[in-house]
Amino acid sequence: MTLQVLLTADNHLDPSAVQYGPRRFERKRDFQRCFEVLVNFALENRPDLLLVGGDFYDGILPGNPARAFVAEQLKHLSEQGVKVLMVSGHHDTPRSVEQGASPLAVHAKSGQVYFFHEQRPVSKTLEIDELTVNITGMSLNPALPPGADPLEGAALSREGQVKIFLTHYPIEGFEGYFGQETHIQASSIPKGFQLFGAGHLHRHQEKTLNGTHVIYPGSTERASFQEEGEKKGFVWLELDPSGIIHQEFHPTPARPMEAINCRFSGGGSLTRQVEEALKRRADVEKIIRVCVSGRVTLEQLSTYKRSLLLTYTQDKFFHAEFDENELNVLMQTPLESLPRTTPIQELNRTFQSLLAGARDDEKPLVQEAWKMTTARLQEEGVN
């Protein structure tokens, strides 16, 4: 007998998307659409398990429309006998008592999902088609310090013919791990497990560590331009006591993103140069970031109009943003440095200016204020 498993993570449902202005609700819908593709695949193929490796929601307080959407999807899965098991991650784990419970706890109350809410390894045993399956889940612990290993010294259940671990942490040795945050060391990956599923890293990748197959399914939708060229999706797995006997990566219709570099050289209108570059990349489905760079004169800079470019992109792209951090203006004459002064000198200059503009009856007050302020600064050791 074999076990059919769908592995997903980092769905980031209900992002704020405020940067998309009037299109933010359409952008929110992108994340739902990608999750729907996964759900429809599950309804058609009926896996035994759907494992969610954290950051299911983009925050701990998703809006009611997102909660209602998820409740409907989970209902469909439950009706078809798909068992859903979840852990929480960086985005959907509360970081204080004031923040309350994870939104995943609400769905767990319905009985349609099992939520490993504890921030230590906890096991759940299921009997599936004559196979004893042991799933160990561990949600993120935001209180752990940088460099800590949440699996160091952890006691794990070894029961079951098929053993699966599900969590949400960066793991040493994977792309995207930087070693400056709480992470799982490669040596801590437990031996004897048929699958170790993890969330947090948005790129789909896998390795075998300590004889255990470790898989990041990756995110189902692009969350930033760092994911520009990555395929997004989920993983379909077939397991038996010997390990993974078959697996497939299934893509989701993630919205395309592209960073476009526009480096100015020569004369002419800078706005026109950017328009020409954008015309060749036009795609109404694409989110773009235009990175403007180069060294220009003030006269050339006057030909660069971001407002006109934003208007130009409205019917050619889903959304456009502009980054001018690398655009440098050449100065015609060097700036002279200001003379060095002391606080007392600056104070004297200020009161001299006030005296020059004061009426005769106001001058004694200004002089007294000048004298008292100077004395107070000198008492504090200011020269």
- DSSP string covering 328-377, please? EEEPSSPPPPPPP--HHHHHHHHHHHHHHHS-TTTHHHHHHHHHHHHHHH
The answer to whether the beta carbons of residues 296 and 269 sit under 8 Å apart is no
Residue 100, phi then psi, degrees to nearest 5: 75, -150
Q: How far apart (Å, rounded) are the C-alpha atoms in residues 364 and 273?
A: 62
pLDDT score recorded for residue 334:
61
Tokens of 146: 């940088």
Indicate left, alpha or beta for 129 from its phi (over 0: left) and psi (-120 to 50: alpha).
left
pLDDT score recorded for residue 345:
85
In this prediction, residue 320 has a pLDDT band, given cuts at 50, 70 and 90, of very high
Convert the pLDDT of each residue in 183-192 to its tens digit: 999 999 999 9
pLDDT score recorded for residue 358:
85
Q: How far apart (Å, rounded) are the C-alpha atoms in residues 241 and 7?
A: 18
pLDDT score recorded for residue 84:
98
DSSP per position, 277-290 = HHHTT-EEEEEEEE
Convert the pLDDT of each residue in 205-254 to its tens digit: 999 999 999 999 999 999 999 999 999 999 999 999 999 999 999 999 99
Residue 332, phi then psi, degrees to nearest 5: -70, -40
In this prediction, residue 85 has a pLDDT band, given cuts at 50, 70 and 90, of very high
In this prediction, residue 342 has a pLDDT band, given cuts at 50, 70 and 90, of confident
Delimit the domains of the chain by residue range: 3-251, 257-330, 343-379
The mean pLDDT of the chain is 92
Residue 177, phi then psi, degrees to nearest 5: -85, 130
Per-residue pLDDT at 157 exceeds 80: yes
Q: How far apart (Å, rounded) are the C-alpha atoms in residues 168 and 36?
A: 22
Q: In what order do the strands lie in the sheet with 317-330?
A: 257-263, 283-297, 317-330
Per-residue pLDDT at 1 exceeds 90: no
Q: What angle do CA 133, 109, 238 make, to 5 degrees?
A: 25
pLDDT score recorded for residue 329:
86
Residues 6+ apart with CB under 8 A from 171: 177, 183, 184, 186, 189, 198, 201, 209, 214
Per-residue pLDDT at 335 exceeds 60: no
pLDDT score recorded for residue 9:
98
Tokens of 317: 């792209």
In this prediction, residue 343 has a pLDDT band, given cuts at 50, 70 and 90, of confident
| Paired residues of 296 in beta bridges | 329
Indicate left, alpha or beta for 237 from its phi (over 0: left) and psi (-120 to 50: alpha).
beta
Tokens of 173: 């040795």
Fold of 3-251: Purple Acid Phosphatase; chain A, domain 2 (3.60.21)
Is the C-alpha dihedral spanning 59, 65, 70, 75 positive or negative? positive
